[in-house]
A and B are shown apart, each in its own frame.
Chain A
Protein backbone atom coordinates (compact mmCIF):
# COMPACT_ATOMS: atom_id res chain seq x y z
CA UNK A 1 0.00 0.00 0.00
CA UNK A 2 1.39 3.44 -0.86
CA UNK A 3 2.27 5.69 2.06
CA UNK A 4 0.65 8.79 0.60
CA UNK A 5 -2.01 8.78 -2.02
CA UNK A 6 -4.05 11.61 -3.45
CA UNK A 7 -7.35 11.13 -5.19
CA UNK A 8 -8.57 13.87 -7.51
CA UNK A 9 -6.97 16.35 -5.15
CA UNK A 10 -8.14 19.86 -5.98
CA UNK A 11 -7.47 23.12 -4.22
CA UNK A 12 -9.10 26.40 -5.19
CA UNK A 13 -8.00 29.74 -3.76
CA UNK A 14 -10.71 32.30 -3.01
CA UNK A 15 -13.58 30.13 -4.11
CA UNK A 16 -16.67 32.07 -5.22
CA UNK A 17 -14.84 35.39 -5.32
CA UNK A 18 -13.64 37.34 -8.35
CA UNK A 19 -10.10 36.23 -7.45
CA UNK A 20 -10.89 32.51 -7.71
CA UNK A 21 -7.93 30.46 -8.88
CA UNK A 22 -7.50 26.73 -9.20
CA UNK A 23 -4.05 26.03 -7.79
CA UNK A 24 -4.18 22.24 -7.80
CA UNK A 25 -6.37 20.50 -10.33
CA UNK A 26 -7.41 16.86 -9.89
CA UNK A 27 -4.02 15.46 -8.96
CA UNK A 28 -3.67 11.71 -8.47
CA UNK A 29 -0.44 10.57 -6.92
CA UNK A 30 0.77 7.49 -5.18
CA UNK A 31 3.98 7.72 -3.20
CA UNK A 32 5.60 4.61 -1.79
CA UNK A 33 7.43 4.49 1.49
CA UNK A 34 11.13 5.31 1.29
CA UNK A 35 11.08 7.10 -2.04
CA UNK A 36 13.07 10.25 -2.70
CA UNK A 37 10.92 12.40 -4.94
CA UNK A 38 11.87 15.63 -6.66
CA UNK A 39 9.09 18.12 -7.32
CA UNK A 40 9.64 20.61 -10.13
CA UNK A 41 7.48 23.14 -11.90
CA UNK A 42 7.80 26.80 -12.73
CA UNK A 43 6.58 29.52 -10.37
CA UNK A 44 2.83 29.40 -9.87
CA UNK A 45 2.45 25.85 -11.13
CA UNK A 46 0.84 24.76 -7.87
CA UNK A 47 3.66 22.81 -6.28
CA UNK A 48 3.70 24.80 -3.04
CA UNK A 49 -0.05 24.45 -2.68
CA UNK A 50 0.13 20.74 -3.43
CA UNK A 51 2.70 20.02 -0.74
CA UNK A 52 0.74 22.07 1.80
CA UNK A 53 -2.30 19.88 1.26
CA UNK A 54 -0.20 16.77 1.88
CA UNK A 55 0.34 17.57 5.54
CA UNK A 56 -3.04 19.09 6.20
CA UNK A 57 -2.06 22.76 6.29
CA UNK A 58 -4.54 23.36 3.50
CA UNK A 59 -7.76 21.47 3.34
CA UNK A 60 -8.50 20.27 -0.20
CA UNK A 61 -11.48 21.90 -1.88
CA UNK A 62 -12.35 18.47 -3.21
CA UNK A 63 -10.66 15.11 -3.43
CA UNK A 64 -8.68 13.33 -0.77
CA UNK A 65 -5.23 12.91 0.69
CA UNK A 66 -4.72 9.41 2.04
CA UNK A 67 -1.99 8.63 4.55
CA UNK A 68 -1.60 4.87 5.04
CA UNK A 69 -4.88 4.51 3.21
CA UNK A 70 -6.79 6.78 5.59
CA UNK A 71 -8.23 10.16 4.66
CA UNK A 72 -6.28 12.71 6.71
CA UNK A 73 -9.37 14.89 7.05
CA UNK A 74 -11.57 12.07 8.31
CA UNK A 75 -11.13 13.52 11.80
CA UNK A 76 -10.28 17.21 11.45
CA UNK A 77 -9.48 17.47 15.17
CA UNK A 78 -6.61 15.04 14.80
CA UNK A 79 -4.98 16.86 11.93
CA UNK A 80 -2.01 17.74 14.15
CA UNK A 81 -1.01 14.10 14.35
CA UNK A 82 -0.79 14.09 10.55
CA UNK A 83 1.53 17.10 10.65
CA UNK A 84 3.86 15.20 12.98
CA UNK A 85 4.06 12.33 10.51
CA UNK A 86 4.43 14.53 7.45
CA UNK A 87 7.10 17.09 8.30
CA UNK A 88 7.24 20.24 6.25
CA UNK A 89 10.15 22.64 5.84
CA UNK A 90 9.02 25.88 4.22
CA UNK A 91 10.98 28.17 1.96
CA UNK A 92 13.37 30.34 3.94
CA UNK A 93 12.56 28.43 7.12
CA UNK A 94 15.06 30.53 9.10
CA UNK A 95 12.37 33.21 9.33
CA UNK A 96 10.32 31.08 11.68
CA UNK A 97 12.89 30.83 14.50
CA UNK A 98 11.76 32.40 17.75
CA UNK A 99 13.27 30.76 20.83
CA UNK A 100 16.06 32.05 23.05
CA UNK A 101 18.43 29.22 22.23
CA UNK A 102 18.94 26.96 19.25
CA UNK A 103 18.20 23.80 21.22
CA UNK A 104 14.92 25.20 22.55
CA UNK A 105 13.84 26.09 19.06
CA UNK A 106 14.57 22.61 17.74
CA UNK A 107 12.64 21.20 20.72
CA UNK A 108 9.49 23.16 19.81
CA UNK A 109 8.14 20.48 17.47
CA UNK A 110 8.96 17.45 19.64
CA UNK A 111 7.42 19.17 22.67
CA UNK A 112 4.25 19.89 20.74
CA UNK A 113 4.09 16.16 20.13
CA UNK A 114 3.83 15.72 23.88
CA UNK A 115 7.31 14.32 24.45
CA UNK A 116 9.05 14.84 27.77
CA UNK A 117 11.78 17.45 28.14
CA UNK A 118 14.55 14.81 28.08
CA UNK A 119 13.19 12.99 25.06
CA UNK A 120 12.75 16.26 23.18
CA UNK A 121 16.32 17.29 24.02
CA UNK A 122 17.62 13.91 22.95
CA UNK A 123 15.87 14.15 19.60
CA UNK A 124 16.92 17.75 19.12
CA UNK A 125 20.59 16.85 19.61
CA UNK A 126 20.33 14.00 17.12
CA UNK A 127 18.60 16.21 14.58
CA UNK A 128 21.22 18.93 15.04
CA UNK A 129 23.91 16.35 14.37
CA UNK A 130 22.20 15.21 11.18
CA UNK A 131 22.15 18.70 9.73
CA UNK A 132 25.73 19.35 10.82
CA UNK A 133 25.23 21.86 13.63
CA UNK A 134 28.14 21.68 16.03
CA UNK A 135 27.13 21.13 19.68
CA UNK A 136 28.64 24.44 20.84
CA UNK A 137 26.03 26.32 18.78
CA UNK A 138 23.09 24.74 20.58
CA UNK A 139 23.09 27.12 23.53
CA UNK A 140 23.43 30.24 21.38
CA UNK A 141 20.59 32.48 20.33
CA UNK A 142 19.38 31.47 16.86
CA UNK A 143 19.45 35.15 15.88
CA UNK A 144 23.24 35.26 16.32
CA UNK A 145 23.89 32.56 13.74
CA UNK A 146 24.75 32.96 10.08
CA UNK A 147 22.07 32.52 7.43
CA UNK A 148 23.16 29.00 6.54
CA UNK A 149 23.31 27.93 10.17
CA UNK A 150 19.85 29.37 10.83
CA UNK A 151 18.50 27.32 7.96
CA UNK A 152 20.01 24.19 9.47
CA UNK A 153 18.41 24.96 12.81
CA UNK A 154 15.03 25.32 11.14
CA UNK A 155 15.42 22.07 9.22
CA UNK A 156 16.57 20.30 12.38
CA UNK A 157 13.40 21.59 14.05
CA UNK A 158 11.35 19.52 11.63
CA UNK A 159 13.66 16.49 11.52
CA UNK A 160 13.50 16.34 15.33
CA UNK A 161 9.83 15.38 15.06
CA UNK A 162 11.09 12.31 13.20
CA UNK A 163 8.43 12.47 10.49
CA UNK A 164 7.90 9.51 8.16
CA UNK A 165 7.61 11.94 5.27
CA UNK A 166 9.88 14.94 4.98
CA UNK A 167 8.82 17.70 2.59
CA UNK A 168 11.37 20.40 1.80
CA UNK A 169 10.40 23.48 -0.18
CA UNK A 170 13.54 24.84 -1.83
CA UNK A 171 15.82 24.10 1.11
CA UNK A 172 18.91 25.39 -0.70
CA UNK A 173 17.53 28.70 -2.01
CA UNK A 174 19.87 31.57 -1.27
CA UNK A 175 22.78 29.44 -0.05
CA UNK A 176 26.26 29.57 -1.56
CA UNK A 177 27.34 26.63 -3.78
CA UNK A 178 29.20 24.80 -1.05
CA UNK A 179 26.35 25.34 1.43
CA UNK A 180 23.97 23.87 -1.13
CA UNK A 181 26.08 20.79 -1.73
CA UNK A 182 26.63 20.11 1.95
CA UNK A 183 22.99 20.60 2.90
CA UNK A 184 21.78 18.37 0.07
CA UNK A 185 24.30 15.69 1.02
CA UNK A 186 22.99 15.85 4.59
CA UNK A 187 19.40 15.49 3.48
CA UNK A 188 20.33 12.51 1.33
CA UNK A 189 22.40 11.06 4.17
CA UNK A 190 19.49 11.40 6.56
CA UNK A 191 17.21 9.76 4.02
CA UNK A 192 19.58 6.81 3.67
CA UNK A 193 19.85 6.28 7.42
CA UNK A 194 16.24 6.89 8.36
CA UNK A 195 14.76 5.31 5.19
CA UNK A 196 12.10 8.00 5.24
CA UNK A 197 10.15 9.38 2.32
CA UNK A 198 11.40 12.72 1.02
CA UNK A 199 9.74 15.24 -1.25
CA UNK A 200 12.21 17.86 -2.41
CA UNK A 201 10.91 20.93 -4.20
CA UNK A 202 13.63 22.71 -6.13
CA UNK A 203 14.25 24.97 -9.06
CA UNK A 204 17.68 23.51 -9.54
CA UNK A 205 17.47 20.64 -12.00
CA UNK A 206 21.03 19.70 -11.09
CA UNK A 207 20.05 19.25 -7.43
CA UNK A 208 17.05 17.16 -8.39
CA UNK A 209 19.04 15.03 -10.82
CA UNK A 210 21.61 14.29 -8.15
CA UNK A 211 19.19 13.29 -5.43
CA UNK A 212 15.78 12.18 -6.64
CA UNK A 213 14.83 8.72 -7.86
CA UNK A 214 11.46 9.93 -9.08
CA UNK A 215 10.26 13.30 -10.31
CA UNK A 216 6.86 14.94 -10.12
CA UNK A 217 6.42 17.70 -12.67
CA UNK A 218 3.70 20.21 -11.93
CA UNK A 219 2.45 22.32 -14.80
CA UNK A 220 -0.52 24.65 -14.87
CA UNK A 221 -1.99 23.22 -11.63
CA UNK A 222 -1.82 19.65 -12.93
CA UNK A 223 0.57 16.80 -12.37
CA UNK A 224 2.13 16.68 -15.83
CA UNK A 225 4.59 13.84 -15.23
CA UNK A 226 5.38 11.49 -12.39
CA UNK A 227 8.08 9.07 -13.34
CA UNK A 228 11.64 7.99 -12.73
CA UNK A 229 14.26 10.72 -12.98
CA UNK A 230 15.80 9.28 -16.17
CA UNK A 231 12.47 9.07 -17.93
CA UNK A 232 11.36 12.57 -16.96
CA UNK A 233 14.65 14.16 -18.01
CA UNK A 234 14.59 12.31 -21.32
CA UNK A 235 11.51 14.33 -22.25
CA UNK A 236 13.48 17.55 -22.54
CA UNK A 237 11.35 19.11 -25.29
CA UNK A 238 8.18 18.81 -23.21
CA UNK A 239 9.92 20.15 -20.14
CA UNK A 240 11.13 23.17 -22.05
CA UNK A 241 7.61 23.90 -23.20
CA UNK A 242 6.63 24.05 -19.53
CA UNK A 243 9.31 26.62 -18.82
CA UNK A 244 11.61 24.03 -17.26
CA UNK A 245 14.80 22.51 -18.50
CA UNK A 246 16.90 19.41 -18.01
CA UNK A 247 20.31 19.54 -16.30
CA UNK A 248 23.01 21.02 -18.53
CA UNK A 249 24.99 17.81 -18.58
CA UNK A 250 21.93 15.79 -19.60
CA UNK A 251 21.40 18.19 -22.46
CA UNK A 252 25.02 17.93 -23.58
CA UNK A 253 24.90 14.14 -23.55
CA UNK A 254 21.66 14.16 -25.50
CA UNK A 255 23.25 16.41 -28.15
CA UNK A 256 26.31 14.16 -28.35
CA UNK A 257 24.06 11.20 -28.86
CA UNK A 258 22.21 13.04 -31.61
CA UNK A 259 25.54 13.64 -33.34
CA UNK A 260 26.18 9.92 -33.32
CA UNK A 261 28.47 9.48 -30.31
CA UNK A 262 28.06 6.16 -28.51
CA UNK A 263 26.76 7.58 -25.23
CA UNK A 264 23.58 7.15 -23.24
CA UNK A 265 21.80 9.69 -21.07
CA UNK A 266 23.49 11.00 -17.96
CA UNK A 267 21.99 12.91 -15.07
CA UNK A 268 25.12 13.96 -13.22
CA UNK A 269 28.61 15.02 -14.07
CA UNK A 270 29.97 11.77 -12.60
CA UNK A 271 27.79 9.61 -14.84
CA UNK A 272 28.78 11.65 -17.87
CA UNK A 273 32.47 11.49 -17.07
CA UNK A 274 32.33 7.74 -16.69
CA UNK A 275 31.09 7.54 -20.28
CA UNK A 276 33.19 10.27 -21.79
CA UNK A 277 36.62 9.60 -20.35
CA UNK A 278 37.05 6.20 -22.08
CA UNK A 279 36.03 7.83 -25.35
CA UNK A 280 38.80 10.34 -24.90
CA UNK A 281 41.18 7.50 -24.25
CA UNK A 282 41.87 8.36 -20.62
CA UNK A 283 40.54 5.33 -18.69
CA UNK A 284 37.50 6.56 -16.77
CA UNK A 285 36.55 6.13 -13.16
CA UNK A 286 37.41 9.61 -11.96
CA UNK A 287 34.90 10.65 -9.41
CA UNK A 288 36.45 13.78 -8.03
CA UNK A 289 35.04 16.02 -10.71
Chain B
Protein backbone atom coordinates (compact mmCIF):
# COMPACT_ATOMS: atom_id res chain seq x y z
CA UNK B 1 0.00 0.00 0.00
CA UNK B 2 1.11 3.52 -0.74
CA UNK B 3 0.93 4.37 2.95
CA UNK B 4 3.83 2.07 3.70
CA UNK B 5 6.34 4.33 1.99
CA UNK B 6 8.62 5.73 4.64
CA UNK B 7 8.85 9.48 4.26
CA UNK B 8 9.79 11.92 6.98
CA UNK B 9 11.17 8.89 8.74
CA UNK B 10 11.27 10.14 12.31
CA UNK B 11 11.58 7.22 14.72
CA UNK B 12 10.70 8.34 18.24
CA UNK B 13 13.13 7.38 20.98
CA UNK B 14 14.84 8.54 24.15
CA UNK B 15 18.52 8.18 23.23
CA UNK B 16 21.03 10.93 23.93
CA UNK B 17 21.03 11.76 20.21
CA UNK B 18 17.26 12.20 20.27
CA UNK B 19 17.58 14.59 23.20
CA UNK B 20 20.21 16.82 21.63
CA UNK B 21 19.30 20.34 20.62
CA UNK B 22 18.15 20.08 16.99
CA UNK B 23 20.16 23.19 16.06
CA UNK B 24 23.34 21.57 17.30
CA UNK B 25 22.40 18.37 15.50
CA UNK B 26 21.90 20.12 12.16
CA UNK B 27 25.06 22.19 12.51
CA UNK B 28 27.18 19.20 13.50
CA UNK B 29 25.73 17.04 10.73
CA UNK B 30 26.84 19.69 8.25
CA UNK B 31 30.24 19.99 9.90
CA UNK B 32 30.80 16.23 9.81
CA UNK B 33 29.69 15.98 6.19
CA UNK B 34 32.20 18.68 5.27
CA UNK B 35 34.94 16.90 7.18
CA UNK B 36 34.13 13.59 5.46
CA UNK B 37 35.51 15.36 2.42
CA UNK B 38 38.29 17.19 4.22
CA UNK B 39 39.81 14.00 5.63
CA UNK B 40 42.14 12.65 2.99
CA UNK B 41 44.18 10.06 4.83
CA UNK B 42 43.27 6.63 6.08
CA UNK B 43 43.77 7.67 9.69
CA UNK B 44 41.54 10.73 9.35
CA UNK B 45 38.91 8.74 7.52
CA UNK B 46 39.14 6.03 10.15
CA UNK B 47 38.34 8.64 12.80
CA UNK B 48 35.34 9.86 10.82
CA UNK B 49 34.04 6.32 10.29
CA UNK B 50 34.43 5.59 14.00
CA UNK B 51 32.52 8.79 14.74
CA UNK B 52 29.67 7.84 12.40
CA UNK B 53 29.46 4.34 13.89
CA UNK B 54 29.40 5.85 17.37
CA UNK B 55 26.53 8.15 16.36
CA UNK B 56 24.57 5.22 14.90
CA UNK B 57 25.03 3.17 18.04
CA UNK B 58 24.18 6.04 20.39
CA UNK B 59 20.99 6.77 18.46
CA UNK B 60 19.66 3.37 19.60
CA UNK B 61 17.80 2.92 16.34
CA UNK B 62 17.79 -0.59 14.87
CA UNK B 63 20.66 -0.82 12.37
CA UNK B 64 18.18 -2.43 9.99
CA UNK B 65 16.62 1.01 9.49
CA UNK B 66 19.98 2.44 8.49
CA UNK B 67 20.58 -0.36 6.03
CA UNK B 68 17.19 0.38 4.50
CA UNK B 69 18.15 4.02 3.96
CA UNK B 70 21.34 2.85 2.24
CA UNK B 71 19.42 0.70 -0.21
CA UNK B 72 18.33 3.77 -2.15
CA UNK B 73 21.90 4.83 -2.94
CA UNK B 74 23.49 1.44 -3.46
CA UNK B 75 23.46 1.91 -7.23
CA UNK B 76 25.00 5.39 -7.06
CA UNK B 77 27.73 4.12 -4.74
CA UNK B 78 28.56 1.16 -6.96
CA UNK B 79 28.57 3.30 -10.09
CA UNK B 80 30.77 6.09 -8.76
CA UNK B 81 33.23 3.77 -7.04
CA UNK B 82 33.68 1.64 -10.16
CA UNK B 83 34.14 4.77 -12.24
CA UNK B 84 36.69 6.08 -9.76
CA UNK B 85 38.67 2.85 -9.94
CA UNK B 86 39.84 3.85 -13.39
CA UNK B 87 40.80 7.40 -12.50
CA UNK B 88 43.82 8.40 -10.58
CA UNK B 89 47.48 7.81 -11.00
CA UNK B 90 50.27 5.88 -9.33
CA UNK B 91 51.40 2.30 -9.51
CA UNK B 92 49.43 0.27 -12.07
CA UNK B 93 47.78 -2.73 -10.46
CA UNK B 94 45.65 -4.23 -13.24
CA UNK B 95 45.64 -3.52 -16.95
CA UNK B 96 42.35 -4.15 -18.79
CA UNK B 97 42.75 -3.23 -22.42
CA UNK B 98 43.38 0.48 -22.59
CA UNK B 99 42.02 0.97 -19.07
CA UNK B 100 44.11 0.55 -16.00
CA UNK B 101 43.39 0.29 -12.33
CA UNK B 102 45.96 2.15 -10.31
CA UNK B 103 46.74 2.39 -6.64
CA UNK B 104 45.40 5.95 -6.64
CA UNK B 105 42.22 4.73 -8.30
CA UNK B 106 41.65 2.06 -5.66
CA UNK B 107 42.17 4.63 -2.92
CA UNK B 108 39.73 6.99 -4.61
CA UNK B 109 37.14 4.24 -4.99
CA UNK B 110 37.39 3.27 -1.34
CA UNK B 111 37.19 6.87 -0.20
CA UNK B 112 34.23 7.81 -2.35
CA UNK B 113 32.33 4.74 -1.14
CA UNK B 114 33.01 5.55 2.50
CA UNK B 115 32.12 9.19 1.94
CA UNK B 116 28.75 8.56 0.30
CA UNK B 117 27.79 5.83 2.75
CA UNK B 118 28.74 7.95 5.76
CA UNK B 119 26.94 10.96 4.30
CA UNK B 120 23.76 8.94 3.92
CA UNK B 121 24.09 7.46 7.39
CA UNK B 122 24.64 10.86 8.98
CA UNK B 123 21.63 12.43 7.33
CA UNK B 124 19.58 9.33 8.15
CA UNK B 125 20.64 9.63 11.78
CA UNK B 126 19.52 13.28 11.75
CA UNK B 127 16.07 12.58 10.30
CA UNK B 128 15.55 9.41 12.33
CA UNK B 129 16.22 11.15 15.64
CA UNK B 130 14.64 14.56 15.01
CA UNK B 131 10.93 15.11 14.57
CA UNK B 132 10.02 17.17 11.49
CA UNK B 133 8.69 19.98 13.66
CA UNK B 134 11.83 20.41 15.70
CA UNK B 135 13.83 20.13 12.50
CA UNK B 136 12.03 23.07 10.93
CA UNK B 137 12.17 24.92 14.23
CA UNK B 138 15.91 24.56 14.24
CA UNK B 139 16.21 25.55 10.60
CA UNK B 140 14.21 28.67 11.36
CA UNK B 141 16.60 29.56 14.17
CA UNK B 142 19.70 28.81 12.14
CA UNK B 143 18.47 30.86 9.18
CA UNK B 144 17.47 33.82 11.32
CA UNK B 145 20.56 35.87 10.37
CA UNK B 146 19.20 35.94 6.82
CA UNK B 147 16.47 38.29 8.02
CA UNK B 148 18.92 41.12 7.42
CA UNK B 149 18.47 40.38 3.72
CA UNK B 150 14.67 40.45 4.15
CA UNK B 151 14.33 36.71 3.73
CA UNK B 152 11.01 35.63 5.28
CA UNK B 153 12.59 32.98 7.46
CA UNK B 154 9.55 32.32 9.63
CA UNK B 155 7.21 31.98 6.66
CA UNK B 156 9.58 29.56 4.93
CA UNK B 157 9.84 27.46 8.08
CA UNK B 158 6.06 27.48 8.51
CA UNK B 159 5.58 26.34 4.92
CA UNK B 160 8.04 23.51 5.47
CA UNK B 161 6.29 22.46 8.66
CA UNK B 162 2.89 22.43 6.98
CA UNK B 163 4.18 20.57 3.93
CA UNK B 164 5.79 17.90 6.09
CA UNK B 165 2.70 17.66 8.24
CA UNK B 166 0.47 16.96 5.25
CA UNK B 167 2.59 14.36 3.49
CA UNK B 168 1.11 11.40 5.41
CA UNK B 169 -2.38 12.90 5.28
CA UNK B 170 -2.28 13.25 1.52
CA UNK B 171 -0.79 9.79 1.08
CA UNK B 172 -3.69 8.37 3.05
CA UNK B 173 -6.09 10.40 0.97
CA UNK B 174 -4.51 9.09 -2.24
CA UNK B 175 -4.91 5.58 -0.95
CA UNK B 176 -8.60 6.13 -0.24
CA UNK B 177 -9.30 7.72 -3.61
CA UNK B 178 -7.44 4.94 -5.41
CA UNK B 179 -9.53 2.33 -3.61
CA UNK B 180 -12.73 4.18 -4.41
CA UNK B 181 -11.91 4.45 -8.11
CA UNK B 182 -10.72 0.85 -8.25
CA UNK B 183 -14.07 -0.13 -6.77
CA UNK B 184 -15.62 1.57 -9.78
CA UNK B 185 -13.49 -0.54 -12.05
CA UNK B 186 -10.66 1.91 -12.72
CA UNK B 187 -7.82 -0.01 -14.30
CA UNK B 188 -4.44 1.29 -13.25
CA UNK B 189 -2.27 -1.71 -13.88
CA UNK B 190 -2.57 -2.35 -17.59
CA UNK B 191 -2.56 -0.47 -20.88
CA UNK B 192 -0.04 1.64 -22.72
CA UNK B 193 1.63 4.83 -21.53
CA UNK B 194 -1.16 7.19 -22.58
CA UNK B 195 -3.79 4.95 -21.05
CA UNK B 196 -1.93 4.90 -17.77
CA UNK B 197 -1.59 8.67 -17.74
CA UNK B 198 -5.32 8.95 -18.42
CA UNK B 199 -6.01 6.50 -15.61
CA UNK B 200 -4.38 8.97 -13.21
CA UNK B 201 -6.94 11.69 -13.87
CA UNK B 202 -9.66 10.15 -11.68
CA UNK B 203 -7.13 10.12 -8.84
CA UNK B 204 -5.36 13.44 -9.31
CA UNK B 205 -8.46 15.62 -9.63
CA UNK B 206 -10.11 14.50 -6.38
CA UNK B 207 -6.69 14.69 -4.72
CA UNK B 208 -6.17 18.31 -5.80
CA UNK B 209 -9.70 19.23 -4.81
CA UNK B 210 -9.20 17.78 -1.37
CA UNK B 211 -5.75 19.37 -1.00
CA UNK B 212 -7.28 22.78 -1.72
CA UNK B 213 -10.15 22.09 0.64
CA UNK B 214 -7.68 21.23 3.37
CA UNK B 215 -5.62 24.32 2.62
CA UNK B 216 -8.68 26.56 2.97
CA UNK B 217 -9.69 24.83 6.19
CA UNK B 218 -6.21 25.18 7.60
CA UNK B 219 -5.96 28.85 6.62
CA UNK B 220 -9.32 29.45 8.28
CA UNK B 221 -8.25 27.62 11.43
CA UNK B 222 -5.00 29.58 11.59
CA UNK B 223 -6.79 32.89 11.16
CA UNK B 224 -9.29 31.92 13.84
CA UNK B 225 -6.34 31.66 16.20
CA UNK B 226 -5.11 35.06 15.07
CA UNK B 227 -2.01 33.79 13.30
CA UNK B 228 -0.35 36.67 11.48
CA UNK B 229 3.14 35.51 10.70
CA UNK B 230 6.34 35.55 12.68
CA UNK B 231 6.39 39.07 14.12
CA UNK B 232 6.42 39.03 17.92
CA UNK B 233 5.63 35.34 18.08
CA UNK B 234 6.86 33.39 21.08
CA UNK B 235 7.39 29.65 21.21
CA UNK B 236 5.84 27.02 23.39
CA UNK B 237 9.00 24.95 23.28
CA UNK B 238 12.00 27.25 23.40
CA UNK B 239 15.09 25.55 22.09
CA UNK B 240 17.74 25.47 24.78
CA UNK B 241 21.28 24.28 24.33
CA UNK B 242 22.23 22.25 27.40
CA UNK B 243 25.64 21.58 28.85
CA UNK B 244 25.85 18.28 27.03
CA UNK B 245 25.18 20.06 23.72
CA UNK B 246 28.03 22.48 24.42
CA UNK B 247 30.30 19.57 25.37
CA UNK B 248 29.48 17.68 22.19
CA UNK B 249 30.10 20.79 20.10
CA UNK B 250 33.48 21.38 21.72
CA UNK B 251 34.39 17.71 21.26
CA UNK B 252 33.38 17.82 17.59
CA UNK B 253 35.36 20.96 16.92
CA UNK B 254 38.42 19.40 18.57
CA UNK B 255 37.97 16.32 16.42
CA UNK B 256 37.80 18.40 13.27
CA UNK B 257 40.90 20.34 14.23
CA UNK B 258 42.60 16.99 14.72
CA UNK B 259 41.64 15.94 11.22
CA UNK B 260 43.05 19.15 9.77
CA UNK B 261 46.28 18.53 11.66
CA UNK B 262 46.37 14.95 10.39
CA UNK B 263 45.97 16.26 6.85
CA UNK B 264 48.92 18.56 7.31
CA UNK B 265 51.31 16.16 9.03
CA UNK B 266 50.37 12.78 7.51
CA UNK B 267 50.57 12.30 3.77
CA UNK B 268 47.01 11.83 2.42
CA UNK B 269 45.99 8.88 0.32
CA UNK B 270 43.71 10.94 -1.88
CA UNK B 271 44.50 14.38 -3.20
- Cβ proximity bits A34-68 to B, threshold 8 Å, 1 near / 0 not: 00000000000000000010010100000000000
Contact across chains for B206 and A113 when beta carbons are under 8 A apart: no
- Measured in the bound complex, the distance between the Cα atoms of B4 and A84 in whole Å is 27
- Measured in the bound complex, the distance between the Cα atoms of B176 and A14 in whole Å is 17
Tell me which of B179, B187, B205 contacts A57 (CB under 8 A).
Answer: B179
**How many residues of B are in contact with the other chain, CB < 8 A?**
19
The verdict on A93 contacting B186 (CB below 8 Å), with A98-B202, A98-B206, A143-B209 known, is no
- Measured in the bound complex, the distance between the Cα atoms of B187 and A96 in whole Å is 15
**Distance of B154 from chain A, by nearest CB (Å):** 33
CB-defined contacts of B183 to chain A, threshold 8 Å = 55, 57, 83, 87-88, 90, 158
- Measured in the bound complex, the distance between the Cα atoms of B184 and A98 in whole Å is 13
Q: Which residue of B lies closest to A93 (CB)?
A: B180
- Cβ proximity bits A95-119 to B, threshold 8 Å, 1 near / 0 not: 1111000000000110011000000
Instruction: Report if B7 contacts A (CB, 8 A).
Output: no
Contact across chains for A57 and B182 when beta carbons are under 8 A apart: yes
Most chain A CB inside 10 Å of its own CB: which residue of B185, B186, B187: B185
Most chain B CB inside 10 Å of its own CB: which residue of A57, A96, A98: A96
Majority secondary structure of chain B interface residues (helix, strand, loop or mixed): helix
- Cβ proximity bits B166-199 to A, threshold 8 Å, 1 near / 0 not: 0000000100110111111111000000000000
- Cβ proximity bits A135-152 to B, threshold 8 Å, 1 near / 0 not: 000000001000000000
- Measured in the bound complex, the distance between the Cα atoms of B4 and A281 in whole Å is 64
CB-defined contacts of B182 to chain A, threshold 8 Å = 57, 83
Instruction: Report if A157 contacts B (CB, 8 A).
Output: yes
CB-defined contacts of B96 to chain A, threshold 8 Å = none
Instruction: Report if A80 contacts B (CB, 8 A).
Output: yes
Tell me which of A80, A90, A113 contacts B180 (CB under 8 A).
Answer: A90
The verdict on A90 contacting B179 (CB below 8 Å), with A97-B206, A98-B202 known, is yes
Contact across chains for B176 and A90 when beta carbons are under 8 A apart: yes
**Distance of B77 from chain A, by nearest CB (Å):** 26
Q: Which residue of A lies closest to B176 (CB)?
A: A90
**Distance of A153 from chain B, by nearest CB (Å):** 12
- Measured in the bound complex, the distance between the Cα atoms of B181 and A157 in whole Å is 10
- Measured in the bound complex, the distance between the Cα atoms of B180 and A87 in whole Å is 10
Q: Which residue of A lies closest to B179 (CB)?
A: A57
CB-defined contacts of B187 to chain A, threshold 8 Å = 80, 112
Instruction: Report if B210 contacts A (CB, 8 A).
Output: yes
- Measured in the bound complex, the distance between the Cα atoms of B176 and A52 in whole Å is 11
Q: Which residue of A lies closest to B177 (CB)?
A: A96
Chain B 116-132 interface residues, beta-carbon cutoff 8 Å to A? none
**Distance of A100 from chain B, by nearest CB (Å):** 10
Contact across chains for B185 and A95 when beta carbons are under 8 A apart: no
Majority secondary structure of chain A interface residues (helix, strand, loop or mixed): helix
CB-defined contacts of A87 to chain B, threshold 8 Å = 183
Tell me which of A52, A80, A96 contacts B206 (CB under 8 A).
Answer: A96
- Measured in the bound complex, the distance between the Cα atoms of B205 and A112 in whole Å is 18
Tell me which of B184, B186, B206 contacts A95 (CB under 8 A).
Answer: B206
Instruction: Report if B5 contacts A (CB, 8 A).
Output: no
- Measured in the bound complex, the distance between the Cα atoms of B181 and A97 in whole Å is 9
**Distance of B165 from chain A, by nearest CB (Å):** 20
Instruction: Report if A161 contacts B (CB, 8 A).
Output: yes
- Measured in the bound complex, the distance between the Cα atoms of B183 and A278 in whole Å is 49
Contact across chains for A52 and B202 when beta carbons are under 8 A apart: no
**Distance of B121 from chain A, by nearest CB (Å):** 21
Contact across chains for A98 and B185 when beta carbons are under 8 A apart: no
Q: Which residue of A lies closest to B213 (CB)?
A: A95
Contact across chains for A109 and B179 when beta carbons are under 8 A apart: no
- Measured in the bound complex, the distance between the Cα atoms of B4 and A87 in whole Å is 26
CB-defined contacts of A158 to chain B, threshold 8 Å = 183-184
Instruction: Report if B63 contacts A (CB, 8 A).
Output: no
Contact across chains for B202 and A95 when beta carbons are under 8 A apart: no
- Measured in the bound complex, the distance between the Cα atoms of B185 and A83 in whole Å is 7
CB-defined contacts of A112 to chain B, threshold 8 Å = 184-187
Q: Which residue of B lies closest to A157 (CB)?
A: B184
- Measured in the bound complex, the distance between the Cα atoms of B205 and A83 in whole Å is 22
CB-defined contacts of B206 to chain A, threshold 8 Å = 95-98
Q: Considering the complex of A and B, which 3 residue pairs feature the smallest CB-CB distances, nearest first?
A: A112-B185, A98-B205, A96-B180
Known: A97-B206, A143-B209. 6 other contacts (CB 8 A): A55-B183, A80-B185, A90-B176, A98-B201, A109-B185, A112-B186
Q: Measuring CB to CB, which residues of chain B are less than 8 angstroms from any residue of chain A? A: 4, 173, 176-177, 179-187, 201-202, 205-206, 209-210
- Would you mind naming 10 contact pairs between A and B with Cβ atoms under 8 Å apart? A14-B4, A55-B183, A57-B182, A57-B183, A80-B185, A80-B187, A88-B180, A96-B184, A98-B206, A158-B184
